[in-house]
Amino acid sequence: MLRRFFLFLSGQKHLRKWVETSALVQGLASRFVAGESLEDALRAGTRINSEGIDLTLDHLGESVTSLAEAAQARDSYIRTLSAIHDHGIRGNVSLKLTQFGLDLSEKECRANLAQLVALAAGFGTFVRVDMESSAYTDRTLSLVEEMHAQYGAVGTVIQAYLYRSRKDIERLSAKRIRVRLVKGAYLEPPNGAFPRKAEVDRNYIELMQLLLDQGEYPAIATHDEKMIEETKAHAARRGIDAGRFEFQMLYGIRRDLQRRLVADGYRLRLYVPFGKAWYPYFMRRLAERPANVFFLARHVFRQ
């Protein structure tokens, strides 16, 4: 119930304006966001690398309303990828296609993405296209497949809550396209997605096994200890070396678990968001865990 409520709020534009400029909520969001500027993100990146963890930088933003904004987002990603390269940081970038103009013009969005992926290919690095709600799944996958055929250097995300995901993983794996497996963070209609968490978890384990067996350097992105233990166990059963896949987690969540994985010799990449447009991202993090909401409420009442 709370999950649905916060995911509903995540799409409310008026609330967004108010919240993004509120110093109080900004302070709370800083748990999940590395800062507003690229410099903040690079500082966080250097610290994270020194702990033996790789990263992917996300310049926050989604659902832009003009092609000029989409071009700005592309330029900011070009600056980010170049800075990662120049500073010798072990990291790549993650972006959302609605930030690159997908809602406005597929042609412009493709051109923006092509510029970034070509740059990544030149640097020998990688661009991850995040997955948004199921309204975008087909278009996201077809653009990623097209870019991959042209440049390599690009991969995407598959959500275990969608019924269609097994087929998508099989196709992407056959094309050697890298997949990050997540449970899924959006409000979805019941005809396309498992409604119950237990079913999503079961599907996650099945898809993780498929990816470990057939996928191209899969990323198992979760903070769920059961999913992590199942992954380790499957890799051990199949004799899959820890260097052939990676775990991924979000900045600011389960640092204890992050440290443990690294100490045990597993690869870990942190998803590190930065920038001013943090509202929808923050609301999805609240939706994932009711305790975050109580933490927020306690803070508000103390003021």
Ligand X SMILES: Cc1cc2nc3c(=O)[nH]c(=O)nc-3n(C[C@H](O)[C@H](O)[C@H](O)COP(=O)(O)OP(=O)(O)OC[C@H]3O[C@@H](n4cnc5c(N)ncnc54)[C@H](O)[C@@H]3O)c2cc1C
Min CB(254)–ligand X separation in Å: 6
Closest to 53 measured CA to CA, from 290, 298, 261? 261
> Does position 271 bind ligand X by CB under 6 A?
yes
Q: Is 279 in the site for ligand X (CB under 6 A)?
A: no
Residue 257 C-beta: closest distance to ligand X, Å: 8
Alpha carbons 227 and 249: distance in angstroms, whole number = 12
Q: Which is nearer to ligand X, 54 or 67 (CB)?
A: 54
Cα(215)–Cα(201) distance, rounded to whole angstroms? Answer: 19
User: Per the residue annotation, which of 110, 180, 269, 285 is the catalytic one?
Assistant: 180
State the nearest-atom distance from the C-beta of 68 to ligand X, in Å: 25
Asked if 285 touches ligand X (CB under 6 A), the answer is: yes
Q: How far is the CB of 233 from ligand X (least distance, A)?
A: 17
Contact positions with ligand X (CB under 6 A) in 145-164: 157, 159
Our answer to whether residue 180 is catalytic in this structure is yes
Stretch that binds ligand X, among 6-14, 41-49, 107-115, 218-226 (CB under 6 A): 218-226
* 185 counts as binding ligand X under rule CB under 6 A: yes
- Stretch in the footprint of ligand X (CB under 6 A) among 1-9, 78-86, 170-178, 244-252: 244-252
Cβ contact 169:210 at 8 Å:
yes
- Whether 132 contacts 140, CB under 8 Å: yes
Query: Least distance (Å) from ligand X to the CB of residue 108?
Result: 22
Reply yes or no on whether 164 is catalytic.
no
By the 10 Å C-beta count (0-12 exposed, 13-18 middle, 19+ buried), 166 is classed as middle
Our finding on whether 130 is near ligand X (CB under 6 A) is yes
Q: Taking a C-beta distance cutoff of 8 angstroms, is the pair 262, 268 a contact?
A: yes
Q: How far is the CB of 67 from ligand X (least distance, A)?
A: 23
Name residues whose C-beta falls within 8 Å of residue 72's C-beta, 6 or more positions apart in sequence. Answer: none
Does 221 help bind ligand X (rule: CB under 6 A)? yes
How many Cβ atoms are within 10 Å of 175's Cβ, its own excluded? Answer: 11
Is 92 among the residues that bind ligand X (CB under 6 A)?
no
Considering the rule CB under 6 A, would residue 248 count as an interface residue with ligand X? yes
CA 76 to chain centre: 17
137 binds ligand X (CB under 6 A): no
Q: Interface with ligand X by CB under 6 A: which range of 22-30, 237-245, 260-268, 286-294?
A: 286-294
Q: Does 259 bind ligand X (CB under 6 A)?
A: no
- Residue 257 to residue 253: CA distance in whole angstroms: 9
* 62 binds ligand X, rule: CB under 6 A: no
For ligand X, the binding residues (CB under 6 A) are: 130-131, 157, 159, 182-186, 221-224, 248-250, 253-254, 271, 285, 288-289, 292
What amino acid positions are annotated as catalytic residues? Answer: 130, 180
